[in-house]
Structure 1
Amino acid sequence: MKGSAVVRASRLKRFLPLLVVAYVLLELWLVVAVADLIGWLLVLLLLLAGFVAGASVIKRAGLKAFAAARAGNMPEGEARTAVTVAGGVLLMVPGFLTDVLGLLCLLPPVAKRLQRVPMGLLRRGPLGDAVRLQEQVRMHRPDGKVVPGEVIHEDGTPTDRYDYSRRDDAQGRGELRE
């Protein structure tokens, strides 16, 4: 099983540059085609509106999550927030295809299906820092005290002491330090 995952990952690394180039060419073609229909000024205004809408969606989702954490309530789900933030990021990326994908992420039926994506995939993806920050915010009480609990290492051994300061490992991602 593990060998097939390695083969899939290497195939993805091989074809990822080709997929990115195809995506960029498709987006450019869409922008030019829409600009021929409605004009360049309106296209620029639509792209700017998509950026502003995406920033607004991300800000609202973040404020809602922080307000829920401050009140001591569990947010309705970190998966829902992650899907909303992903929709906002897609809206902010210039292009009409990404705008459509971002709007799809914000539609409740589609968002509900996307919430089923395992959080482990989100932690490793481009939203990993946002998901980890949200988890850290939820670990603290509204008065700033750390929620008591036991920390379990990846190998399954518990520890009594834990330092919540961050460090950067060789891969550049922050991890909690013992």
Structure 2
Amino acid sequence: MTRQRRLVQGVLFVVFVLVPLAEIYVIVQVGQAIGAGWTIALLFLSGFVGAWLIRHEGARAWRAMREAIAEGRMPATEIADGALILVGGTLMVAPGFITDALGILLVLPLTRPLFRRLLAALVARHLVVGAVAVRRPGPGPAEGPVVRGEVVDDD
């Protein structure tokens, strides 16, 4: 098994087994500390706050992306922000306090630059950059046989 495959399996195990178990544990602990009703109310409140943050911060990121495009520059930061807001808001809508905490960190403008740098480093590590041959019309070596001739303009 390749190293990358083991890494993917490990991440999937953490995401689909360990995180839900940790969420259940934390929810039970919070429920014992403040009561079941308040715990459920907090979970609903975090879902509504997550939905509001997706809408609010998502709209801000969309405006910033449109401005970058209008200015003629590549909206890389704005696209990364949009992705982080989407993932963070989705984590906040999902029930659980651990995912809510991570979601808030991904969505808030104060902490988002840190995660943007982490995302950029992750993407850069997995990108394969290679030279691409581009054929441009004009003078230069041509492929195939060269036919000598004269251009006749009918004007």
The answer to whether TM tops 0.5 is: yes
Say which SS state the counterpart of residue 94 (structure 1) adopts: coil
Which of 12, 16, 22 is residue 26 of structure 1 equivalent to? 22
1:45 equivalent to 2:41? Answer yes
- The structure having more radius of gyration, on CA atoms, is 2
Q: What residue identity is the alignment partner of 1:11?
A: R
SS at 2:111 equivalent: helix
Aligned partners of 2:20, 2:43: CA distance in 1, in Å? 15
CA–CA distance in 1 between the matches of 2:7 and 2:43?
Answer: 30
Q: Secondary structure at the match of 2:95?
A: coil
Shift of 1:80: 2.5
2:111 is equivalent to residue 110 of structure 1:
yes
Q: How far does residue 15 in structure 1 lie from its aligned partner after superposition?
A: 2.7
Structure showing greater relative contact order (alpha-carbon pairs closer than 8 Å, 6 or more residues apart) = 2
Identity score, percent: 29
Query: Per-residue deviation at 1:22?
Result: 1.4
- The one-letter code sitting in structure 2 at the alignment partner of 1:89 is T
The ranges of structure 1 where at least 4 consecutive aligned residues each deviate by more than 4 angstroms after the TM superposition are 68-71, 73-76
Q: Name the residue aligned to 1:62.
A: 58
**Contact kept in structure 2, 1:61 and 1:85, CA below 8 Å:** no
Distance 1:57 1:9, change over 3 A: same
Match of 2:144 in 1: none
- Residue matched to 1:15: 10
Structure 2 gaps of 5+ residues are: 136-155
Q: How does 1:115-154 map to 2 (within 5 A)?
A: 115-116=116-117, 117-118=119-120, 121=123
Provide closer, same or farther for how the CA distance between residues 10 and 41 of structure 1 changes in structure 2, counting only shifts above 3 A: same
Please, what TM-score do these two structures have when normalized by structure 1?
0.56
> Given that residues 79 and 119 in structure 1 are in contact (C-alpha distance below 8 angstroms), is that contact kept between their aligned partners in structure 2?
no
Please state which structure has a larger fraction of its residues in strand. Answer: 1
Q: Note closer, same or farther for the CA distance 1:34–1:57 as it changes in structure 2 (3 Å cut).
A: same
Q: Which has the higher helix share?
A: 2
